[in-house]
Amino acid sequence: MPLLEIFTNVKSDAIPDGFLKNLNSVWQKAIGKPMQYMCVRLAPGETMNFGGTAEPCALLNVRSIGNLGKEENNAISKALTAEMGKLGVAPDRMYAVFTDISPQDVGFKNTTFAFLA
């Protein structure tokens, strides 16, 4: 149940065609989960400020049941930072916040992942 939420002040018309599809592929490879469970939310045009300026910036919420940890998060951060660079977001103008979620705390298919395992 990997979930990637991206909030950015980059305007929607500045998002290149195919960006979301490519991002989903990069994200899936970085987290190592089946594509059928991948979920990406991109919220462009947000009113945001980072470091005192409104230059391009982003906040990424990275959530997953497992496959997160010190080494994994570092690799995911590198992959996602590279993708955000394609939108003009510099590595020092974004945060990625990682949350490892318990299977019992995610509903799917009329139950939770705790019962699907």
Active-site amino acid positions: 2
- Distance, in Å, from the CA atom of 3 to the CA atom of 38, rounded to the nearest integer, reads 6
DSSP symbols for 5-73? EEEE-S-GGGSPTTHHHHHHHHHHHHHT--GGG-EEEEE-S----BTTB-SS-EEEEEEESSS-SHHHH
Q: Which of 84, 60, 69 is nearest to 4 (CA)?
A: 60
